[in-house]
């Protein structure tokens, strides 16, 4: 049975499911976790403004019509031809190739609709699953970024993967 993966713009009604997914204590390498459901609602309410200003383009990941995560693209304001992808997937959907398919869909949006020339994926060096997604999606490892990721008062090294539009 083939699963169908789709992206659609995030909605405020996604807040409860997103909060449920992100509240999982196994999300140890994802550092943008909302503290409350209201925090998630407030974030989602700001999506339209961020999209209009070409700062972020955020999507809900659907697997066979069910919300299983989120994915987004931050646009560098000083270099608006570069985007950075990020995503999160519900634990019950880990290891099923959903994140890789979502990244490829997001990449298509970045290169075609947003007219990006370069897309980056930066992840904690300890996050093996995220690195596998980047590799499977065809991104090239460019190096290690020292102390590039902050979680509270701690800094972690990040892996930099990227893909260039040909």
pTM of the model: 0.93
Note every long-range contact of 20-25, with CB atoms under 8 Å and residues 24 or more positions apart, other chains counting.
21/68, 21/69, 21/88, 21/89, 21/90, 21/91, 22/88, 24/90, 24/91
Q: Please report where in the chains the tokens 């970045």 appear, as a residue.
A: 110
Give residue-wise pLDDT tens across range 42-95. Answer: 999 999 999 999 999 999 999 999 999 999 999 988 888 999 999 999 999 999
130 touches 149 (CB < 8 A): no
Give residue-wise pLDDT tens across range 14-38. Answer: 999 999 999 998 887 776 788 999 9
The structure tokens listed for 92 are 């019950």
> Quick count: other Cβ atoms within 10 Å of Cβ 14?
22
Give residue-wise pLDDT tens across range 82-111. Answer: 999 999 999 999 999 999 999 999 999 999
Fold of 5-164: Aminopeptidase (3.40.630)
């Amino acid at each position: 049975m083939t699963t169908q993966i789709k992206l659609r713009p995030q909605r405020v009604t996604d807040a409860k499911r997103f909060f449920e997914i992100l509240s999982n204590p196994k999300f140890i390498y994802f550092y943008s976790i909302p503290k409350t459901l209201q925090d998630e609602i407030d974030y989602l309410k700001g999506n339209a403004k961020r999209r209009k200003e070409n700062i972020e383009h955020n999507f809900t990941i659907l697997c066979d019509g069910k919300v299983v995560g989120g994915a987004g693209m931050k646009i560098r304001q000083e270099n608006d031809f570069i985007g950075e992808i990020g995503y999160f997937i519900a634990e019950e959907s880990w290891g099923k190739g959903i994140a890789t398919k979502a990244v490829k869909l997001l990449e298509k949006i970045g290169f075609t609709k947003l007219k990006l020339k370069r897309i980056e994926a930066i992840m904690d060096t300890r996050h093996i699953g995220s690195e596998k997604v980047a590799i499977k999606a065809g991104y090239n490892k460019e190096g290690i970024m020292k102390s590039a990721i902050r979680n509270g008062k701690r800094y972690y090294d990040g892996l930099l993967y990227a893909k260039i539009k040909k």
